Amino acid sequence: MKTKTKEDEEEVKGFVTIYDFGGERVFYNTHHCFMSSNMVFVLVFDVDMCLDKDRSIAGYEIAEYWLKAIATYALDDETRSKGIPPIILIGSHLDKVSPNKTTQNKMFAKVLDNLQTKQQLRLIMEDHVQEMFAIANLNDSTANKDVYEALWQKIIEIAPLQSQWKRTVPARWIAMEHELIRLKNKGYTFF
Ligand SMILES: Nc1nc2c(ncn2[C@@H]2O[C@H](COP(=O)(O)OP(=O)(O)OP(=O)(O)O)[C@@H](O)[C@H]2O)c(=O)[nH]1
Ligand SMILES: [Mg+2]
């Protein structure tokens, strides 16, 4: 991705690594291999599920599980109070809640309020959540282009909240990363 941090700066090319976590319980044991405080978390949860009386408990439990899991990666009180690691919260399935945008936003706010009735979750959200987006038809890749643009902008804006931002790393690591990307682009697969 190309970006610039200041108005008068030249655009620079940056690499973004995206991990899409398997959300099902069976994958929970693998998450610690990938999760760290050096990430921007985009946490997507199903708002319609939280509002559906038959699935509501599970819906809230999933959001709660992830918020608590991410919060364990705050290194200490100081980094936590700075919002490290940062979270962007996304509510999906809003088309199923209502066709009306105002109602969708209202219901998203209601679910967020319900989540925050637990003090522990409220504190986690206050510390780590940097932005929230309510999205309808997330499954339709032709819709919501403006929201996705805003989401990328937000990710860039809060990237400095990653715990290792601007820390020096050995040049050999960068060289190795470039080599891995080169091989991947040539079609090699790694297991
Ligand atoms: N109507 C509607 N369907 C959605 C929306 N977002 C996702 N879906 C559907 O919900 C189902 C689950 O979506 P996924 O993107 O696979 O969800 P996931 O959380 O990545 O699931 P795992 O990878 O299994 O953890 C799919 O059938 C999607 O098409 C939405 O905003 N509205
Ligand atoms: Mg998935």
DSSP 137-185: -TT-TTS-HHHHHHHHHHHHHHGGGSTTTT----HHHHHHHHHHHHHHH
Report the separation in Å between the CA atom of 21 and the middle of ligand 2, taken as the mean of its atom positions: 7
Does residue 4 carry a pLDDT above 80?
no
- pLDDT band at residue 5, thresholds of 50, 70 and 90? low
Q: Is residue 47 part of a domain?
A: yes
165 bridge partner residues: none
The answer to the question of residue 3 being in a domain is no
104-158 per-position pLDDT tens digit: 999 999 999 999 999 999 999 999 999 999 999 999 989 999 999 999 999 999 9
Distance CA 158, CA 179 (A): 28
Q: How far is CA 146 from CA 77, 90, 96, 151, 152, in A?
A: 35, 14, 20, 9, 10
Task: Verify whether ligand 1 is closer than 6 Å to residue 83 (CB atom).
Answer: no
Tell me what pLDDT residue 23 has.
Answer: 77
* Token couple for 48: 């319609």
To test the pocket of ligand 1, the residue of 92, 95, 140, 148 to mutate (highest count of ligand atoms within 8 Å of its CB) is 92
Residue 54: band (very low, low, confident or very high) from pLDDT cuts 50, 70, 90: very high
- 30 Cα–ligand 2 center, Å: 15
Q: Model confidence at 59, in pLDDT bands (50, 70, 90)? A: very high
Q: Whose CA is nearest to atom 27 of ligand 1?
A: 139
Which tens digit of pLDDT belongs to each residue from 93-106?
A: 999 999 999 999 99
Q: Is residue 2 part of a domain?
A: no
In angstroms, the CA 86 to CA 38 distance is 9
Domain annotation covers residue 172: yes
Q: Six-digit token pair at 130?
A: 């940097």
Handedness of CA 157, 160, 163, 166 (dihedral sign): positive
pTM score of the predicted model: 0.90
- Helix or strand or coil: residue 114? helix
CB burial of residue 52 (10 Å; 0-12, 13-18, 19+): middle
CATH number where 52 lies? 3.40.50
- Mean pLDDT value of segment 171-186: 91
Reading the block at residue 168, the tokens are 């020096």
Tokens encoding 46: 């199903």
Residue 144 Cβ < 6 Å to ligand 1: no
Looking at residue 109, its pLDDT comes to: 97
Q: Are 133 and 108 in contact (CB under 8 A)?
A: no
Number of domains in the chain: 1
Please tell me the residue having the least CA distance from ligand 1 atom 4: 139
Q: What pLDDT, in 10s, does the model give residues 63-98?
A: 999 999 999 999 899 999 999 999 999 999 999 999
The answer to whether residue 111 sits within a structural domain is yes
pLDDT tier, 191 (very low <50, low <70, confident <90, very high otherwise):
low
Helix-strand-coil split of the chain, %, nearest 5: 50, 10, 35
Structural domain boundaries, residue 83? 25-185
Is 139 a member of any domain? yes
Q: In this structure, which ligand is nearest to the CA of 92?
A: 1
| Average pLDDT over every residue of 42-62 | 96
In a domain, 19, yes or no: no
